Chains A and B, each alone.
Chain A
Amino acid sequence: MKKHRLMCVLVAILILSLPLFGGGKAERQESLIVYAYDAFTGDWGPGPALVQAYEAATGIPVQLVGSGDAVAMMSRLIAEGKNTRADVVVGITDDMVKRILDTDLLISYESELLAKIPSFLQFDETNRLLPFDYSNYAFIVDSERLERAQWPTSLESLADPQYKNKIILIDPRTSSVGLGLLLWSIEHFGEGQWLNWWQAMKQNALTITDGWSSAYGLFTEGEAPLVISFTTSPVYHVLNEESTRYQALIFDEGHQVTIEGVGILATSKRQDEAKRFVDYLLSEAQLDIAIANSMYPTNADVQLPAVFDWAPKPTRSISMDPERIAQHLDRWLEEWTEVMSR
């Protein structure tokens, strides 16, 4: 009985799957294939609306392919190498860029729109990856749990004993946001000093989570009044909860930046369409992407809606040379782990 049922189910699944097996292939021939991370491609992300608008404007059909998160997407691209069917890749961040720039998978594109993008955002000198949105890492404060007079004003002040168990941090070994703070501290305090800061922060950290999601969840549950996140985080609460309870803290010393780039595959046979797609991303699509991703647009001409007043731009953006990151990251993470687990 059981066995027969099992066989029926398996056979049914197999048969059902056959017709669509061939169905996907036809599409491949004509559409521009765009690889993007999962949060970009789904119904909820900026992807579908962008594709629709782009198709309407240019008549070029686009197929979005989701590939997990940004790191998984990059690994996939590198694994596929020259055999990839992707024409464009969207969403590779500046801190992880070395691995893909070491290959010759991407081709340089000197878009005219680069003139509208501030130079501090152009993280790839070879223009194989063009910045399309960005944000800054920042500590978010819960104004109902911490009086304004007590708000920290710099990285240094965060290490003050008054914030004992009041900060939620994220592990740089498992999260890009955690890594962002690690790089920020190294840039700010320098090689000799950054570990001392972490030593002090260890006392103040309520916990160090595996990823941004659990950190921010703990924060909004009221576990601690400070969390590492983005300057753009308050926007969600203003838009959806009509609440200005959570605010981004801007430090004078500047904030580590995270930039998302788009690139064209060297193997693509549709270079012109790919370039048009990139240009579209850097111009008409800028505002929609910024709002959907809770990021800033890179194109300086774009006017942001009023709600972005709650996402204050820092006066200074700090970024680190990808070469330097790739060279030292392993050692930094080991030293960090050593200090934090003592």
Chain B
Amino acid sequence: MRKIRIPQKRGFYYMLALPALLVLLLFFVLPLLITLSAAFTDGRGAFSLATIIKTFTNPYTLRIMRFTLVQAALSTLASVIIALPGAYLLSSYSFRFKRLILALTAVPFVIPSILVVLGFVIFFGNNGFLNLFLMRIFGFSEPPLKILYSFGAIILAHTFYNFPIIMNLVASYAMHLDTTLEAASYTLGASKVRTFFSVTLPRLVPAIVSAATLVFLFCFSSFAIILVLGGGPKYTTMEVEIYRQARMMGNTAAAAALSLFSILVTGLLLVAYNKSQRRLAQGELYRDEQRAQNRKPASLVGRLLALLYTFITLLFVLAPIISVVVRSALSPAGFSLKWYRQLLALELAGSHMGSALPALLNSLVIATVVAIVATSLGTGLSASIARRTRSKTLLEWLGMLSMTVSSVIIGLGYFLISSQFRVGQSLSYLLVVIAHLVIAIPFTLRAILPAYRKIPLSYAHSARTLGSSAPKAFFSVELPLLKSAMASAAIFAFALSMGEFNATLTLSSATIVTLPIVMYRLIGSYNYQGACALGTILIIVSALVFLVTARPKGTRHGI
């Protein structure tokens, strides 16, 4: 087959990547390079390779690296396994609570990790709801389920945190797959199960791998969950070691070397992933209308399975969240709405509960801006990666880079930025938004890129042949096809921004108060119940926003 060449087309797609590149290079790569350059010093500033060599060959570091990779791989695998049936249900059938489930998938991201850990403990812990329930029913004197403080607990918590992303990304991709191939398979006499495994699943692989990469990197740099729920130093990850070197020892050189090691390992994995992804991505029919909008599970068994799965996942996702909600009104001291009255300023608060409403407003404004901009930047970057022939591996890697770098190292980088500009509150807002963009771009990229790759080149080519300009072809032909992927991207960007804590604190010199910051302050001053009340408000507001965003737009007649 001869390659069709359309002149001047690439120039436009080059340009689309520019805004994202600018943000990433200026506000991430540059400070990162400065921070990482410390790895090539001996700690006093003189050039030396000793730190690097020592770090890369230290058996202790290698052992930690192995554990970090193993737990991330297992967590990712578990998340994929749990997520796939859900993605299948969501994309194939319409049923009650479908929208609610989609809206809830991003909720874990808005809750700061400390509340997730607490939510887990409140539900699964020795004194948690589950154990209390079992003890009451069956009359055990000791908590029967010892779920927490083990390797399994780490995987459990990571799965809770991450399978919703995979479910959401794969479902929003699958909704747009053409169903004629399945129809053909049925016509040829294949069973439903056979069709799923030989026809549907292989075509979902790009989206699955894409989402799984994201989850892998997320688990790779996990911190609080691993230490607290794992039970201690037996389960040490690279992130803990980087933290120790950077923060406790003040040894930036060692921290930078460890981080460099992480970046190299995850970078290699990403290159391998890229190779596989390119082989898999071939243009195929891509439909605008969502597949099987109104289909209901046909058989009774199917219906029961769908119900059972929905129930289990809802329980799984909701349990820790509900624990936070319940805990906000119910303490060991009894039922009380005191914290809500204080949050709504109905009751005079002794602590900083009064700053909750302005903080909510701050969070909403920042998260909305971040969601819109990050989705736009992610779309531009995706277009460029999907349509450019050269250096797309590099671009894709760059788009994922912020996920491969330890948050402590990113913190040091932001610290460099903030010490350069430390004036004016509006500038702080801008810096915070940019930092959130850097964090959100990998997610928007993962959400949009697989969908973009599925759009056949011929669509844009046809448009060009019919006389439209490259931008027109992009905006009126390709963009509308990306709507649901972009909605997913926006939801995750919004959630990440709502839940972000460290960068906000560093960059604003504590002048911008967001909801997670107030929450950490409450916890820092012993007020866990107030933090749970605030967490509840965060959960409700976010779920409402997601519900609106995930609403299916009126079906359009496209191609």
Q: Known A13-B430, A213-B524, A240-B350; judge A208-B227 contact (CB<8 A).
A: yes
Docked complex Cα distance between A39 and B224 (Å) = 21
Please indicate the chain A residues that have their CB under 8 angstroms from the CB of B232 in the complex.
Answer: 169, 171, 202, 205, 207-208, 340-341
Q: A221 contacts B377, CB within 8 Å?
A: no
Q: Known A16-B426, A174-B248; judge A42-B513 contact (CB<8 A).
A: yes
Q: How far is the CB of B266 from chain A (nearest CB, A)?
A: 22
- Of all chain A residues, the one with the shortest Cβ separation from B323 is A221
Q: A17 contacts B426, CB within 8 Å?
A: yes
Q: How far is the CB of B323 from chain A (nearest CB, A)?
A: 9
A216 lies within 8 A of chain B by Cβ: yes
Q: Known A5-B372, A6-B19; judge A214-B122 contact (CB<8 A).
A: no
Please indicate the chain B residues that have their CB under 8 angstroms from the CB of A16 in the complex.
Answer: 426, 429
Partner of B351, one of A5, A44, A80: A44
**Which residue of A13, A233, A245, A294 has the most chain B CB atoms within 10 A of its CB atom?**
A13
Q: How far is the CB of A232 from chain B (nearest CB, A)?
A: 10
Q: Which of A301-342 contact B (CB under 8 A)?
A: 329-330, 333, 336-337, 340-341
Please indicate the chain A residues that have their CB under 8 angstroms from the CB of B54 in the complex.
Answer: none
B contact residues, range: 35 or more
Please indicate the chain B residues that have their CB under 8 angstroms from the CB of A66 in the complex.
Answer: 509-511
A124 lies within 8 A of chain B by Cβ: no
Q: Known A1-B475, A3-B380, A209-B228; judge A333-B426 contact (CB<8 A).
A: no
Docked complex Cα distance between A207 and B234 (Å) = 11
Q: B523 contacts A341, CB within 8 Å?
A: no
**Which residue of B227, B229, B520 has the most chain A CB atoms within 10 A of its CB atom?**
B227
B149 lies within 8 A of chain A by Cβ: yes
B267 lies within 8 A of chain A by Cβ: no
Q: B523 contacts A217, CB within 8 Å?
A: yes
Report B176-190 CB contacts with A as 1/0, cut-off 8 Å. Answer: 000000000000000
- Of all chain B residues, the one with the shortest Cβ separation from A142 is B332
Main secondary structure of the interface of B (DSSP, over half): helix
| Stretch from A67-75, A184-192, A261-269 at the B interface | A67-75
- Of all chain A residues, the one with the shortest Cβ separation from B425 is A20
Partner of B528, one of A13, A207, A211, A220: A220
B352 lies within 8 A of chain A by Cβ: yes
Q: A9 contacts B525, CB within 8 Å?
A: no
Q: How far is the CB of B411 from chain A (nearest CB, A)?
A: 8
Report B514-530 CB contacts with A as 1/0, cut-off 8 Å. Answer: 00000011011111100
Partner of B114, one of A20, A39, A171, A214: A214
Docked complex Cα distance between A281 and B126 (Å) = 44
Q: How far is the CB of B444 from chain A (nearest CB, A)?
A: 12
| Stretch from B95-103, B239-247, B302-310 at the A interface | B239-247
Q: A173 contacts B243, CB within 8 Å?
A: yes
Please indicate the chain B residues that have their CB under 8 angstroms from the CB of A68 in the complex.
Answer: 505-506, 510
Q: How far is the CB of B379 from chain A (nearest CB, A)?
A: 6
Please indicate the chain A residues that have their CB under 8 angstroms from the CB of B114 in the complex.
Answer: 213-214, 217
Q: A43 contacts B354, CB within 8 Å?
A: yes
- Of all chain A residues, the one with the shortest Cβ separation from B229 is A207
Please indicate the chain A residues that have their CB under 8 angstroms from the CB of B369 in the complex.
Answer: 9, 13
Q: How far is the CB of A108 from chain B (nearest CB, A)?
A: 23
Please indicate the chain A residues that have their CB under 8 angstroms from the CB of B424 in the complex.
Answer: 17, 20-24
Q: Which of A22-52 contact B (CB under 8 A)?
A: 22-25, 38-39, 41-44
Q: Known A213-B114, A217-B114, A337-B236; judge A174-B227 contact (CB<8 A).
A: yes
A149 lies within 8 A of chain B by Cβ: no
Chain B contacts to A: CB under 8 angstroms: 16, 19, 114, 117-118, 121-122, 125-128, 148-149, 223-224, 227-234, 236, 240-241, 243-244, 247-250, 331-333, 350-352, 354-355, 369, 372-373, 375-377, 379-380, 411, 415, 419, 422-427, 429-430, 433, 475, 479, 505-506, 509-511, 513, 520-521, 523-528
Question: Can you list 25 pairs linking A and B with CB atoms under 8 Å apart?
Answer: A1-B475, A2-B479, A3-B16, A3-B380, A6-B373, A13-B430, A17-B424, A20-B424, A24-B423, A42-B355, A43-B513, A44-B355, A68-B506, A68-B510, A71-B248, A207-B231, A214-B228, A221-B118, A221-B127, A221-B128, A222-B332, A233-B526, A241-B333, A330-B249, A333-B244
Given A171-B227, A205-B231, A207-B230, 11 more contacts at CB 8 Å? A1-B475, A1-B479, A13-B369, A20-B424, A24-B425, A38-B505, A44-B525, A76-B415, A217-B117, A222-B125, A333-B248
Enumerate the 4 nearest inter-chain pairs by beta-carbon distance, A residue then B residue, closest first: A44-B352, A66-B510, A24-B423, A208-B232
